[in-house]
Amino acid sequence: MEREKVNRMLRVVDEASWQEGIDNTILDCDAVIVKATQGTGYINPICDSLYQAAKSAGKLLGVYHYASGGNATQEADFFLDNIQGYIGEAMLVLDWESGENAQWGNPNWCKEFCDRVYARTGINPVVYVQNSAVDQVANLTDNGLWIAQYADNNPMGWVDSPWNTITVNHIMHQYTSTGRIYGWSGNLDLSLFYGDANAWLAYAGATGQPAPTPQPQVQEYAQPVQSSGTTYIVQPGDTLSGIATRYGTTYQHLAAINGISNPDIIHVGDRIVIDGVVSAQSSDDEYYTVQPGDTLSGIAERYGTSYQYLAYINGISDPNKIYVGDTIRVK
């Protein structure tokens, strides 16, 4: 059996008014970030409906402001004045892009906007920017970065290790704008957040302190299961206890043989083994011993992956610090 992954990175979708009709109660993701405002005159008319649907489904939340490059303080105030009900539970995001942005190329604009948000809320907003423009946000030392970098424009779903050559520290990677997942028939922006729910909430909370950079979590795997033949594909509305009742077993048994650490969290499309016994751990992992002159990004490139993913699966908190003789898991 192919190994099933548990304790995943958070899977994030961002939405705007052109996703009208999307049902966030069934959308296959862990978090939703909704466009709230742009400039000092635009308010997304369906922001609250998208937000509340995601909230009712227990998803993590975020809202973003698209920079138009007007007065930075006024844009920050406009954003905050229109998201009062979300502050403290939603990640606040500045969307810094070239389109319709009169200040594109001016790093001081982003800092002024972020400083104003912090002054009013005690929250350091996350900043979204394309990988080729990270120099424009280099002066933001207290803000998490959400970086966009795509391998291509081909439709794709959720992947654990998308193509990534980003060289600056970041908390989230948007890896496609042509994402296809359960719950929506069109394209979606898909991102991975490198942390757990608590790390996400730290960025949302008005603590008065910069949110900590999420530490890479060791990717855990359920042990392979030797099945006697019965499996079930999770459908919308399913719960593990409901599946267990249907097959005359217990949710504790299903969680144990499928390596599910939290029985309350299953995802549409997951394959659940109904009967089976745990067999020996698979031995197809591959390792590399660090040599003089090696860097984590160099090792990642050699094995066709990203340094963030290697840090994640090896529990490396600082990707800039590896040592000769270290054993690095690469697959």
What does the pLDDT average to over 261-271? 70
Phi and psi torsions of 301, nearest 5°:
-60, -40
Across 9-18, 72-81, 90-99, 304-313, least confident range: 304-313
CA distance linking residue 112 with residue 96, whole number of Å: 13
Topology of domain 225-278 in CATH is: Membrane-bound Lytic Murein Transglycosylase D; Chain A (3.10.350)
CATH hierarchy code of domain 5-204: 3.20.20.80
Q: Taking the mean position of all CA atoms in its chain, how far away is CA 118?
A: 23
CATH tag, 287-329: 3.10.350.10
Bigger pLDDT: 125 vs 8: 125
Say what percent of the chain tops pLDDT 90.
Answer: 52
Answer yes or no: is pLDDT of 70 > 70: yes
How many Å separate Cα 71 from the centre of its chain?
A: 30
Give the model confidence (pLDDT) of 78-125 as tens digits: 999 999 999 999 999 999 999 999 999 999 999 999 999 999 999 999
pLDDT value of residue 230: 77
Residue-wise pLDDT for 249-263, tens only, equals 877 777 777 767 667
Note the pLDDT of residue 222.
38
pLDDT for res 236: 67
Q: Between residues 262 and 74, which one has the greater pLDDT? A: 74
Q: Global pTM?
A: 0.64
**Domain coordinates of the chain in residue numbers?**
5-204, 225-278, 287-329
Top-confidence residue, 236 or 62: 62
- Measuring CA to CA, which residue among 97, 85, 164 is closest to residue 137? 97
- pLDDT score recorded for residue 217: 34
Average pLDDT score over residue span 233-257? 78
Is the confidence at residue 33, as pLDDT, over 60?
Answer: yes
Token digits for 165? 């050559």
- Residue 56 reports pLDDT greater than 50: yes
* Amino acid at site 70: G
- State the CB neighbour count (10 A cutoff) for residue 246: 11
Query: How many CA atoms lie less than 13 Å away from 24 in the CB half-sphere?
Result: 28
Task: Give the least confident one: 9-18, 163-172, 307-316.
Answer: 307-316
**Is there a common fold for 225-278 and 287-329?**
yes
Q: What's the CA gap between 39 and 101, in Å, rounded?
A: 9
**Do the beta carbons of residue 313 and residue 296 sit within 8 Å?**
no
